[in-house]
Amino acid sequence: MLLIEDLKVELAGNEILKHIDLEIRQGETHILFGPNGSGKTSLLMTIMGYPQYKVTQGKIIFKGEDITHLPVNERAGMGIGMSYQRPPTIHGVKTHQMVRICAGKEKEVDVEGLAGQVNFTDFLGRDINDGFSGGEIKRSELLQLMAQDPAILLFDEPESGVDLENMSLIGTTIGKLLQRDFNIDPVRSQKERKKERTRMGLIITHTGFILDYITADKGQLLFKGEMTCASNPREIFRCISEVGYEECVKCAI
Amino acid sequence: MRNLEEMASKASDKKAALGPDIDLASYQSSPVPHDYIEDLTSLSEVDKQRMIISGVDAQERERCGTFVQKDTTVIHSCSKQEGIEIIPIRKALEECDWIHEYYWNLVAVDADKYTSKAELDLHNGYVIRALPGSKTIYPVQACLYIDKDGLSQNVHNIIIAEEGSELHIITGCATSPHAKRGLHVGISEFYVKKNAKLSFTMIHNWAEEMAVRPRSVGRVEEGGLFLNNYICMRPVKSLQMYPTTHLVGKGATARFYSLLVGSPGSEMDVGGRVFLKAEETKAEIVSRAITNSGNIIARGDLIGEVNGVKAHLECRGLIINGGSIHAIPELTGKADGVEMSHEAAVGKIAQDEILYLMSRGLSEDEATSTIVRGFLSVDIPGLPPQLKAEIDRAVEASDKDVL
Ligand SMILES: Nc1ncnc2c1ncn2[C@@H]1O[C@H](COP(=O)(O)OP(=O)(O)OP(=O)(O)O)[C@@H](O)[C@H]1O
Ligand SMILES: [Mg+2]
């Protein structure tokens, strides 16, 4: 479970997150909406533990432990994983090597097999993120998360810039990762499968496309650094589409 | 006929154009005898280990010939493949007439006091020659080893890839653990003839108090390819070299790659210079320098003399823990239509790259070393897998020292 209480965050001396309360329970996936610059990426980076995002108030609890001041790699070790909006290029570090790093030291990983699932086999020999197109970055990030297999997956706009064919690939893969696919299971009923769901997700989206592929438990709207409302994700999306963020915030308050 | 000795004598005090001046008189040069060894596995474990890290395998696995010189004496020299000749240079000078067409033909004997020293006080060195059309499957390995403390080792090497041949050489230079202070003067002349391919990979493992002054020049004829890799990742007191290559035949190509790591107290001044003198010639110089408190000057100089040549220079430096990197890329175009470019970048490891790797589970140290290793892993097209593996191994081995 991820619990964020009364969080304030500063970046380069500016308060970019003013008041965040958020609770993602075991097995839940939330959708995070908000206009450009509202602080969505900042929130994910803060949860991941990027040191430039300074928590000035409040705390982050994960699996019952206060992780507010834990370094990034220890959070990764506890099962927090992130798909980035703009990941850096690392020259000389190949994509297949990166996938192996994600899997951790002990785990054997079928890099080719995983890459095949997201149509990324041809990129394994390239330096990570070097010249990747917008859509390719999304598949690369997803591939890394598949290998990493974290308990909570933070997706920063997993579908922006993705073409139609790859969209369904990415959508269904994310669904699987979050244990939200509805394949018929000979042993367990859908209800049982839902109960067994453990993975958590927090997905940033502008387009709402991802909602065509996965179900989500809640939608959150971030506006000017404040988490304003939490309700049905489709409802928030409709509201934003029809009356805009500002109105939507008002109706929530 | 040139009087080499006379020319050399006149230059015996001539300071080099670059690099700190070295007092030659403070080193000994008298011969150090060692027994010839038939089977390299009978070398001491310590020597073997030092050679292995320089890419020289005592069991000669996946090698097509070996040359080993210890101090001033050749202790092993043999070729295992037809068409590949490996001859100690003193022997060649006595027995082979043809050697005189090559000896001091590219490097000027009176260039500076070091070239002078190598002529007046030559210990030995190797001549490696691939006969016309012969192709090595495995590389030839050569090792210049310094065991005696305080020695000035003066060698001269000549490498000839005859027409249509393919030759790969890995050469390791190293010191034994008890040779702390010394000087290595190494002359190398490379002849790559028509349509021949030569790859030359040099791995240096010196000691903290070593001074090193290689002097090398290559000439590449029509359709020839000269691949030159240089790796120096261990401490060295003072290293200065500026190998030069002349591309004299149509379509000749030279590619230089160097990987340098500057440790505390190390001064390195390393460059590469290529003259593109014929049509359709191509040159590429790529260097990666990392400093951990050492001082590195990374030079590169490309001179395009005829229309339509292509050349690129790339120099990247990473400062890990103090020290300096001075990148000096130079381009000179002397004709219309030359296509020449360079890029240089010097900086520290980007924090966002470290954090990205940490968010995938690596510790900060692991992330840093992954980035450093990546930085040093340049793709070198045309290099045989054994040599690629040796370079990777050298990078791997230096990794711990760097961090
Ligand atoms: N280094 C920085 N210094 C100052 N302000 C910054 C810095 N980096 C980001 N910001 C600001 O922080 C605010 C929040 O940015 P963030 O990236 O979290 O927005 P976002 O909601 O993810 O937007 P988008 O939808 O465009 O991705 C923005 O106003 C941004 O300009
Ligand atoms: Mg963003």
DSSP string, B230-268: EEE-S--SEEEE--EEEE-STT-EEEEEEEEEE-TT-EE
User: What per-residue confidence (pLDDT) applies to A228?
Assistant: 83
Ligand 1, atom 28: closest residue by C-alpha: A37
Those residues with Cβ within 8 angstroms of residue B389's Cβ, 6 or more apart along the chain or in another chain: none
User: Rounded to the nearest 5°, which phi and psi values hold at B51?
Assistant: -75, -40
Helix (H, G, I), strand (E, B) or coil at A28: coil
Whole-angstrom Cα Rg for chain A: 18
Q: What is the ipTM of this complex?
A: 0.95
Judge: A127–B374 Cβ closer than 8 Å, yes or no.
yes
Those residues with Cβ within 8 angstroms of residue B147's Cβ, 6 or more apart along the chain or in another chain: B32, B34, B47, B70, B71, B175, B176, B178, B179
Question: Which of A73, A75, A91 shows the shortest C-beta gap to B363?
Answer: A73
Residue length, chain B? 403
- Asked if residue B341 lies in contact with residue B314, where contact means CB atoms within 8 angstroms, the answer is no
User: What per-residue confidence (pLDDT) applies to B250?
Assistant: 98
Short-list B261, B222, B226, CA closest to B243: B226
CA distance B202 to B231: 6
B363 CB within 8 Å of a chain A CB = yes
- Residues in chain B, pLDDT under 50: none
Give this prediction's pTM: 0.85
Please give chain A's pLDDT, 253 residues, in tens: 999 999 999 999 999 999 999 999 999 999 999 999 999 999 999 999 999 999 999 999 999 999 999 999 999 999 999 999 999 999 999 999 999 999 998 888 999 999 999 999 999 999 999 999 999 999 999 999 999 999 999 999 998 888 988 899 999 999 999 988 776 667 777 777 777 789 999 999 998 899 999 999 999 999 999 988 778 888 888 888 888 888 888 765 4
User: Rounded to the nearest 5°, which phi and psi values hold at B172?
Assistant: -115, 135
Q: Maximum Cα–Cα distance for chain B, whole Å?
A: 69
Q: Tell me how far the alpha carbon of residue A178 lies from the centroid of ligand 1, in angstroms.
A: 27
CA distance B50 to B209: 17
User: What per-residue confidence (pLDDT) applies to B384?
Assistant: 83
Q: Tell me how far the alpha carbon of residue A86 lies from the centroid of ligand 2, in angstroms.
A: 9
CA distance A154 to A144: 12
Ligand 1 contact, A201 CB (< 6 A): no
CA distance B2 to B104: 10
- The residue ranges of every structural domain in chain B are 1-241, 358-403
Superfamily of domain A2-252: P-loop containing nucleotide triphosphate hydrolases (3.40.50.300)
Span B48-96, pLDDT tens digits? 988 888 888 888 888 999 999 999 999 999 999 999 999 999 999 999 9
CA distance B25 to B117: 11
Judge: B352–A71 Cβ closer than 8 Å, yes or no.
no
Ligand 1, atom 16: closest residue by C-alpha: A39
User: Rounded to the nearest 5°, which phi and psi values hold at A146?
Assistant: -60, -40
Judge: A92–B376 Cβ closer than 8 Å, yes or no.
yes
- The residue ranges of every structural domain in chain A are 2-252
Query: Residue B38 class from Cβ within 10 Å (0-12 exposed, 13-18 middle, 19+ buried)?
Result: exposed
User: What per-residue confidence (pLDDT) applies to B155?
Assistant: 98
Q: How far is CA A81 from the centre of its chain?
A: 8
Here the tokens at position B21 are: 């001046």
User: What per-residue confidence (pLDDT) applies to B232?
Assistant: 93
